[in-house]
Amino acid sequence: MNTVDLEKYSDLLAQNARKASKKIRTLSAETRSKVLARVAELLRASKPEILAANKLDTDAAQGKISDSMLDRLTLNDARIESMAKGAEEIAAFADPLNKVLEARELKNGIKISRVAVPIGSVFFIFESRPNVTIDGACLCFKAGNAVILRGGKESINSAKCLADIFRKALTENGVDEDAVQLVTESSHDLVSMLLQRNDCIDLVIPRGGERLIRAVVDQSKIPVIKHFNGICHVYVDKSADIAKAENILINAKTQRTGVCNAMECVLFDKALPSSDVKRLVEALTSRGVELFGNADAQKRLEGIANVTDIGDEANYHTEYLALKASVKFVENVEEAADHIEKYSSRHTEAVVSEDTSVQDYFVANVDSSSVMVNASTRFADGGEYSLGAEVGISTDKLHARGPMGVESLCTYKWVLRGEGQVRG
């Protein structure tokens, strides 16, 4: 497309989203659930088509993207079934709309209530994870929002197939198919144009790497919910159950490395017995994890593991998304919390401790969207939180924080019911 065409296309997408949002915000909960249930049926019935489209994407991406990104791009029977189940779970959720969040009667007799309503239209930008096409569309639609989906160019065939399935379910149920639109052009100029359309689009949710999100924030005239990166920590206290700690560290770092809730830094209490430290470190290194640490960490782990010198400590700001992790020894939970305060991305942190006072201090003083006690950081996920799915994990504090499910895609309005009262 040339520049003029991009302008027309961006205007069409924006105007369609605004029109659709007005139509669907008053749809019944039953209709919205029926659409989502039909999406699940069509996903299962369309597996061959979905896998064929995905193969086009993965074949084209071979050798051009990292192994972790290729894993995110790849669909299989299990992941398609997971999308279908996610759609069914969201369909079965209680209606998040028209819920009375609070109500009272004023002194003048006016009855006032705060009621949950849709945000309106959402521009959802994500990278090469085609399943997010369905997750994002399901969550936005359940909350009564229209959505413009823009995935990574590597996933275009998969995303188009999945978006078409959703639009088919909408049409079959008499709903405007533009409630879900997929951007089929990869131009960055087009994204920039859409980011200026605060007349038609109410919220932008970018889901991807830090560079993508910063670019969106820099350009957007529309409010943006951000998730820059996932620099997640696990602090192992001197009171820790070492068997628990071992399982948590292995899971948090190695179960799936290319995700935002994987552990990127382990903090060891200096009072941990050396035998326990050895056991925990070898549990990681035996699974191929490369460690990066300061001079103190190198000295303490001499003879146990090779630790790469981090020099100016820049590694503490690094989201590896690989079999790599920073390591540091701290005096106590207070120093652990101070380290996290300085280097964390406010995503997810975990403490492994049997001391309730340590647990309580960690929970109270660590300012991240999710805080785990004796559990892996990998649980920071919409599905694991019984949200059905998520459009992302917000490290912002307004208006949503942590895994964003259906209720995070709602806002509210005040409704006042009177009998002719006027203000004096």
Any idea where the domains of the chain sit in the sequence? 3-225+404-417, 232-379
- Pairing of β 121-126 and β 203-207: parallel
Q: In this predicted structure, which of 163-167, 232-236, 391-395 has the lowest mean pLDDT?
A: 391-395
Look over the chain and give the mean of its residue pLDDT values, rounded to a whole number.
Answer: 94
Give me the pLDDT at residue 388, please: 65
Distance from C-alpha of 242 to C-alpha of 2, rounded to nearest angstrom = 61
Query: Of the candidates 282, 17, 19, which has an alpha carbon nearest to the alpha carbon of residue 123?
Result: 17
Q: Is the pLDDT reported for residue 2 higher than 50? A: no
Give me the pLDDT at residue 380, please: 95
Give me the pLDDT at residue 265, please: 97
Mean pLDDT along residues 110-132: 94
Mean pLDDT along residues 336-363: 97
Q: Is the pLDDT reported for residue 3 higher than 70? A: no
Query: Of the candidates 137, 172, 156, which has an alpha carbon nearest to the alpha carbon of residue 31?
Result: 172
Torsion of CA 47, 262, 318, 209, to 10 degrees: 30
CB 153 within 8 A of CB 186: yes
Query: Of the candidates 248, 30, 19, 60, which has an alpha carbon nearest to the alpha carbon of residue 157?
Result: 60
Q: Can you give the pTM of this predicted structure?
A: 0.83
Distance from C-alpha of 287 to C-alpha of 297, rounded to nearest angstrom = 19
State whether CATH 2.60.40.10 applies to domain 232-379. no
> CA of 91: how far to CAs of 32, 99, 334, in Å?
7, 17, 44
What is the percent of the chain with per-residue pLDDT over 90, rounded to a whole number?
83
Angle at 381 between CA 332 and CA 49, to 5 degrees: 150
Name the amino acid, one letter, at 262: A
Mean pLDDT along residues 314-319: 90
pLDDT tens, position by position, 50-84: 999 999 999 999 999 888 789 889 999 999 999 99
Edge-to-edge strands of the sheet including 290-293?
Answer: 307-309, 290-293, 324-330, 263-269, 232-236, 348-352, 370-373
CATH superfamily, region 3-225+404-417: Aldehyde Dehydrogenase; Chain A, domain 1 (3.40.605.10)
Question: 396 pLDDT band (50/70/90 cuts)?
Answer: confident
